A = this chain, B = another copy of it.
């Protein structure tokens, strides 16, 4: 019998393929279970077992067919493919179930999926274990480095994140001029960055968007600091940045991004670093 495979249940984006490449590169057997309606990367060089988010028993069958003993969940499933939901009689039959999964009782549906897989005997692993090279390294990733003042902002952000960690609050803060302008909780990093962009928007339209709040004084500069929570389940809720994070940070007038080395994923690393360099943002693992 062949060696048990690492099964990658793949959502959207390139992360599943990046994980597969790293695992296969060190000689692991890799099986891809592309999620229909979500997976969109090129998995041509791997054994593939397409599965549906709305058919949990089918996932178990395919895992068994793939000869997998470990499973990793990777890729985006946040934006439900409406096409998938609308396609065919199965979706109509499972409509209530789909609603429960997509809008449902847990704000991170992956946790429910992990519990389901573990109940059926599969070890669920995380990117940190399987593809550690995808996590942020220590040091500057692009051309730019933070200034001494920016390093101080990073230190303030890390201290704030550490203080909040005991209460399982956010993974991200934005610091400018030694002040914490925004704290991430349930809204996510992207929305936190967008908020700072709005706070800084000049003029009457900006004022309306701010609902009458005064603008954030510092028109430019500041740093996004991202770290893991102390109790983070890295299999379900992996902090990460990518090209979009860089784009949003640029729009918000930030000077750079600092991420916790070893604990924050850098999605599409080459594109992310290129975007940071093009935007004159520093990108540093700390």
By a beta-carbon cutoff of 8 Å, the part of chain A in contact with chain B is: 76, 78-80, 82, 102-109, 156, 159-160, 163-164, 166-170, 173-174, 179-188, 190-191, 194-196, 199, 202, 204, 207, 210-217
For A166, A169, A186, A216, the residue with the greatest tally of chain B CB atoms inside 10 Å of its CB is A186
Q: Which residues of B contact A210 (CB under 8 A)?
A: 187, 191
CB distance from A181 to the nearest CB of B (A): 4
> Can you list 5 pairs linking A and B with CB atoms under 8 Å apart?
A108-B214, A160-B167, A169-B173, A174-B185, A188-B211
Q: Which residues of B contact A187 (CB under 8 A)?
A: 182, 195, 199, 210, 213
Q: Which residues of B contact A78 (CB under 8 A)?
A: 212-214
9 extra interchain contacts, Cβ-Cβ under 8 A, other than A179-B186, A183-B184? A80-B207, A103-B202, A107-B216, A159-B166, A160-B167, A173-B185, A183-B183, A183-B185, A186-B196
Q: How far is the CA of A190 from the CA of B199 in the complex (A)?
A: 13
Q: How far is the CA of A168 from the CA of B103 in the complex (A)?
A: 35
Closest to A78 in B: B212
CB distance from A171 to the nearest CB of B (A): 12
A103-B202, A170-B183, A179-B168 known; A188+B213 contact, CB < 8 A: yes
Closest to A99 in B: B202
CB distance from A226 to the nearest CB of B (A): 15
Q: Which residues of B contact A169 (CB under 8 A)?
A: 160, 173, 180, 183
A182-B187, A212-B78 known; A163+B159 contact, CB < 8 A: no
Q: Which residues of B contact A163 (CB under 8 A)?
A: 163-164, 166-167
Q: Which residues of B contact A181 (CB under 8 A)?
A: 185-186
